[in-house]
Structure formats: C-alpha cells, structure tokens
C-alpha cells in the first residue's frame, strides 16, 4: 500500500482544506482562532508580499521566529512560493548561528526583533542578506507583508519532490549539518506522528513544539492532513500546563527532553486525573518516568524513535511495551547491523539503519556536505549512528549513540547504559558519561552528576559503591564530577563535547581511600 502520492504537496493540502472545509478551526492562540479559509487567505497575502521582494522558487530564506501564528503563516507562505526555508533555532548565537547562515547563504531572513542582538552580528557575515524584522509589539515590515492586498494563489506549481527546507540538526559534537527536507518528507513526518499519537479528526494538540524543529513543523502539516486543531502556546510551561489543557480542552501532548519529568515534579493536584488529555507521544522517556507518568496522570505514553533525516519517526510503539521504541513504520525497513554492515540476530547490540520502502521518505543528504552524506547514506541505507537491539518479537530498543561509547579494558561500554543505571540512584537527577585518558594512557570512565535538590548526604564514595552493586565492574566510573547544570542543545541533549576531559578536577576512586 502506497502512503504517499506524487500528486500531493503541502500547498495543495492547504488549498483543499480551505475549499472543502473552510470553517474548521486550524488553530487557536489566546483569544484568536483561525479557520482553514482564513489561514489560506493570510498565507496568500504574505506569500504575495514576499514575492514582491523577489522571493521565488529555490530562494533560500532564513526564519528566526518564535512560536506564534505568524511563524505558521511564514512556513506555509514560503511553501507556496517554492522557497527553501532555513529554520533557525532561536536560541542560537555566536559561532553556531554564524555557521548556519554562512553555510546556507540565505538571501532573506524573517526574524523577530527580540533576536536582533544575536542575529545582527551573524548576519553581518553575509553580504547582501536582507532581514525582515517582526517587531514584538506589531507593525514593521513583516506586518506590511502580511497585509499585502493580493489574496490570490501564488503562481508557483508545487510538487511532491520539492525541496522545502534545509534543517540544521543540533548534534552533541561537530557543527550542525543541513538536512535536505522535501515536501514528501514533511508529509511523512506528519503521518508518522499521527500514527504514534493516535491523532484523529477532532483532536486538539497542545502545541508548544518549536516550528524550527521537525517535530514542530510536522504538526503544522498534520493539521492539514486531517481536521484537527492546534492550541498554540508560546513555550512549554510545567506550571501553566494544566491551565492550558483546560482552556483549550487539549487531547494530546508531545514530549521531548525533560517535559515528562517537569510535569512529574509539579505538586500533586486534583487535575492530575481531571483533564482531557488522551495520549502523550514523543521520544526519550526513561522507563521509570514512563511508568510514573502513566500511573499518576492516567495518560498512555507512546514512545518512538527517529531523526530529521528519516522524516522524524521511523519506529513507533503502538502497543505500550514499556522500554521499547516499537516497530518500524510501514514505509521503512529498519535493521540492527554490526560493524561489517551485516544484520545481527535478535538480542544483539548494533547500529540502527533505515531504508525507504517508499521513495522520497529519507533525505537525499546534507546541504553542501558530500562527505557526511556519503558517510550516512550507504548501499541504500541511512546509518543513524545510534545503537539498538531487536527482540525476537520484532520490538526495537534504543541504547544510545554509537559514538557515545567507550572502550575500557577490552570492553565496549554504552554511555547510555551506564547513565541509565546512574540516574536510578535516589540522589541523582541526571548524569553524563565520557571517556577520558588516564595516567597510563588508557581510556577510563568519567561520570558527571547533577544531584537532585536536597541530596546533601551524597558522597562519591557511597555512590561508586552503589554503582558496583548495580552495574558490571567494567562499567563503574573511576572519576566523578559534580555539576550544577549541564550544557545542552535546544532539544535537551547534553553537549558532551563541552564537558571537561581532565582527570585532576574531579573525585578519583583510585586516589580516595575506601
């Protein structure tokens, strides 16, 4: 069964929604609501305004906007013009922001003026870049473009295979890479999310997800693929979450990073069970958090796995098997392979690789980066760089980054496995394991630990003793470093490249009497 048609595309979806279901409410934001018909008119006005500035098919446009309805308008307007948008993480600054702009070379940038202090210095590196500012209090050039009098459909004829975006992924090491995202990939991402979240017509999504990430932009597209409503909130707020759910009668929550943990840290209340939420879907939920969340809030958790390069979700868990990321979606083949690229038997740990069963659902590569493209796309497969295993029933389990492993005393050690155990200690809120070179020139283990509030009795000695009782001897870290906060990417991945590799700035098990 084919899930995607060459006749479909995002601009066509919006036109069809406006013509066939004009009064359906696409989104709500505070007191403002926007129907499909109103959305299409406003998108056309902005698209035609941008066209007068010279934005055409294949024009690269950087977008550095916060999470608001205008950002959705910009996304769809650029799709209707055939422009290639370069979504910019609004938290970027300095060298990281310069890299995205210099690498992608946009002709125009759309930006909220609250980011001027970050964007101006980086934009100065590009001769001829025109920045269209959106003032925080309204007005300005962006508003004038939105008020263009021409409501007609732009002339560009969109296609299924059009390049829609160059989406720079934030990694834990090295500069961000620009993933080439086609129209079909965005639609595949939306379909996968609708499956894992059991999202059906009439659903109301608590929509905090940044649109500059695939997990935010795919939700915009999903809301055209079926009549659902997006409840826009400016950012995720654990303290305000249940008020927002009640206000919009939200039925679905998307989670990444520490979203679930933040909700669990809120004081218990009657609203823990008195709410309209039906499903929480996302990725990266530790088993203990998964179980605690379902038990406290009565909301089934749907865990999945994927990456921008594979149109978001490639594996989804629809059966509720705790700890598993699930099984491959219909339009992908997923395998666990060894270093020789040969598939491994059930239970074996290896690299996760993904192949398209329907063309166009995996990226064609990275923008202006043929070396990384060749490294990632080989023999018809996309090599994720992640470790996993598959059981005899076909369920996959995520075991961390392949490169995030340490070889110690002849053993390959998964950092994720060590961290998963360490995070189970009652005093530990979060941890990160790296390999360091010891005084003998061998690789050893250094664990960075962030303590829970009130963990005054914690000592490295007792913690290592606890580790020895709960993990293999070769997994027990020698060096322990305490941190107040971890440096993180905007998607809440710990930036391990920023952690100290020194062995003289931390507690050392061999130097301490026990």
DSSP 83-98: -EEEE--TT--HHHHH
The pLDDT mean for the chain works out to 93
Give whole-number Cα distances, 235 to 32, 63, 74, 206, 259, in Å.
Answer: 17, 18, 19, 10, 11
Lowest mean pLDDT among 346-350, 384-388, 394-398, 453-457: 453-457
| Residue 220: Cβ within 10 Å count | 23
Helix, strand, coil abundance in the chain, percent, nearest 5: 30, 25, 40
User: Which residues belong to CATH 3.40.50.12780 in the chain?
Assistant: 10-389
**Calpha distance 212→502 (Å, rounded):** 35
Q: Are 503 and 446 in contact (CB under 8 A)?
A: yes
**Calpha distance 446→434 (Å, rounded):** 6
Q: 440 pLDDT exceeds 80?
A: no
Q: Which phi and psi angles does 251 have, rounded to 5°?
A: -110, -15
Task: Say what the pLDDT of residue 363 is.
Answer: 98
**Calpha distance 86→354 (Å, rounded):** 25
Q: Taking the chain, what is the end-to-end CA distance rounded to the nearest angstrom?
A: 63
Where residue 221 falls among pLDDT bands split at 50, 70, 90? very high
**Calpha distance 69→72 (Å, rounded):** 5
In 3-state terms, what secondary structure has residue 337?
Answer: strand
Q: 513 pLDDT exceeds 70?
A: no
Q: 238 pLDDT exceeds 70?
A: yes
In 3-state terms, what secondary structure has residue 514?
Answer: coil
Tokens, residue 21: 């279901």
Segment (H or E) for 79: helix 69-81
Give the pLDDT confidence of 281-297 residue by residue, as tens digits.
999 888 889 999 999 99
Q: 409 pLDDT exceeds 70?
A: no
CA-only gyration radius of the chain, Å:
24
Where residue 256 falls among pLDDT bands split at 50, 70, 90? confident
Contacts of 285 (CB under 8 A, 6+ apart): 255, 260, 293, 301, 303
Tokens, residue 307: 């990456």
- Nearest to residue 328, comparing CAs of 361, 377, 374? 361
100 burial level (CB within 10 Å; 0-12, 13-18, 19+): buried
Over residues 69-80, the mean pLDDT reads 98
Task: Say what the pLDDT of residue 360 is.
Answer: 98
Where residue 514 falls among pLDDT bands split at 50, 70, 90? low
Q: 176 pLDDT exceeds 90?
A: no
Give the pLDDT confidence of 112-142 residue by residue, as tens digits.
999 999 999 999 999 999 999 999 999 999 9
Percent of the chain past pLDDT 70, that is, above it, reads 97
Where residue 497 falls among pLDDT bands split at 50, 70, 90? confident
Where residue 412 falls among pLDDT bands split at 50, 70, 90? low
Q: 185 pLDDT exceeds 80?
A: yes
**Calpha distance 426→383 (Å, rounded):** 36
Choice between 11 and 170, residue whose per-residue pLDDT is larger: 11
Where residue 330 falls among pLDDT bands split at 50, 70, 90? very high
Q: Which phi and psi angles does 14 have, rounded to 5°?
A: -65, -45
Give whole-number Cα distances, 501 to 416, 462, 505, in Å.
Answer: 18, 23, 9
Task: Say what the pLDDT of residue 380 is.
Answer: 97
Task: Say what the pLDDT of residue 302 is.
Answer: 97
Q: Are 191 and 116 in contact (CB under 8 A)?
A: no
Task: Say what the pLDDT of residue 170 is.
Answer: 60
Q: Find the length of the chain.
A: 514
Q: 178 pLDDT exceeds 60?
A: yes
Where residue 175 falls among pLDDT bands split at 50, 70, 90? confident
Task: Say what the pLDDT of residue 403 is.
Answer: 74
Task: Say what the pLDDT of residue 442 is.
Answer: 73
DSSP assignment letter at 475: G
**What dotted CATH number matches 409-508?**
3.30.300.30
**Calpha distance 138→132 (Å, rounded):** 13
Task: Say what the pLDDT of residue 96 is.
Answer: 78
Task: Say what the pLDDT of residue 174 is.
Answer: 59
Q: Does domain 10-389 have CATH number 3.40.50.12780?
A: yes
Over residues 373-383, the mean pLDDT reads 96
User: Which residues belong to CATH 3.30.300.30 in the chain?
Assistant: 409-508
Task: Say what the pLDDT of residue 274 is.
Answer: 97
CA angle 142, 148, 153 (to 5 degrees): 115
Give whole-number Cα distances, 265 to 126, 260, 268, 453, 503, in Å.
Answer: 45, 9, 9, 11, 34
Q: 36 pLDDT exceeds 70?
A: yes
Give the pLDDT confidence of 457-474 residue by residue, as tens digits.
899 999 999 999 887 777
């Amino acid at each position: 069964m084919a899930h995607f048609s060459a006749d479909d595309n995002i601009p066509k979806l919006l036109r069809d929604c406006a013509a066939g279901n004009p009064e359906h409410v696409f989104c709500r934001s505070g007191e403002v609501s926007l129907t499909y018909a109103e959305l299409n008119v406003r998108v056309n006005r902005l698209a035609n305004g941008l066209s007068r500035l010279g934005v055409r098919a294949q024009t690269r446009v950087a977008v550095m906007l916060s999470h608001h309805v205008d950002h959705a308008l910009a996304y769809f307007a650029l799709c209707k013009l055939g422009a290639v948008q370069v979504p910019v993480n609004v938290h970027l600054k300095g060298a990281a922001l310069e890299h995205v702009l210099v690498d992608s070379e946009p002709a125009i940038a759309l930006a909220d003026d609250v980011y001027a202090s970050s964007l101006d210095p980086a934009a100065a590196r590009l001769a001829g870049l025109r920045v269209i500012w959106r003032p925080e209090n309204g007005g300005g050039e962006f508003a004038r473009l939105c008020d263009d009098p021409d409501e007609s459909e732009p002339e560009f004829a969109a296609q299924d295979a059009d390049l829609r975006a160059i989406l720079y992924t934030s990694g834990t090491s090295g500069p961000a890479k620009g993933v080439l995202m086609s129209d079909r990939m965005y639609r595949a991402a939306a379909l996968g999310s609708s499956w894992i979240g059991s999202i059906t017509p009439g659903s109301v999504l608590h929509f905090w997800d940044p649109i500059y990430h695939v997990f935010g932009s795919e939700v915009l597209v999903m809301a055209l693929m079926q009549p659902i409503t997006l409840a826009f909130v400016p950012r995720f707020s654990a303290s305000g979450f249940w008020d927002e759910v009640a206000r919009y009668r939200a039925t679905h929550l998307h989670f990444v990073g520490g979203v679930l943990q933040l909700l669990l840290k809120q004081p218990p209340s009657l609203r823990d069970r008195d709410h309209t939420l039906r499903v929480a879907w996302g990725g990266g939920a530790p088993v203990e958090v998964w179980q605690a969340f379902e038990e406290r809030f009565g909301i089934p958790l749907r865990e999945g796995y994927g990456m921008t390069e594979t149109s978001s979700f490639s594996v989804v868990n629809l059966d509720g098997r705790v700890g598993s990321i699930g099984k491959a979606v219909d339009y992908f083949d997923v395998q666990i392979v060894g270093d020789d690229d040969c598939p491994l038997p059930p239970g074996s740990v290896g690299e996760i690789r993904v192949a398209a069963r329907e063309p166009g659902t995996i990226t064609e590569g990275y923008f202006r980066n043929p070396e990384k493209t060749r490294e990632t796309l080989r023999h018809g497969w996309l090599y994720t760089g992640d470790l996993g295993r598959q059981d005899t029933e076909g369920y996959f389990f995520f075991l961390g980054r392949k490169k995030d492993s340490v070889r110690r005393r002849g053993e390959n050690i998964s950092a994720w496995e060590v961290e998963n155990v360490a995070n189970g200690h009652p005093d530990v809120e979060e941890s990160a394991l790296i390999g360091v070179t010891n005084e003998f020139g061998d690789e050893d283990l250094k664990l960075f630990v962030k303590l829970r509030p009130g963990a005054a009795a914690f000592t490295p000695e007792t913690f290592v003793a606890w580790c020895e009782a709960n993990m293999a001897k070769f997994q027990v870290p020698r060096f322990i470093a305490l941190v107040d906060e971890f440096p993180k990417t905007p998607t809440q991945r710990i930036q391990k490249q920023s952690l100290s590799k020194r062995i003289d700035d931390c507690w050392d098990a061999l130097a301490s009497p026990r």
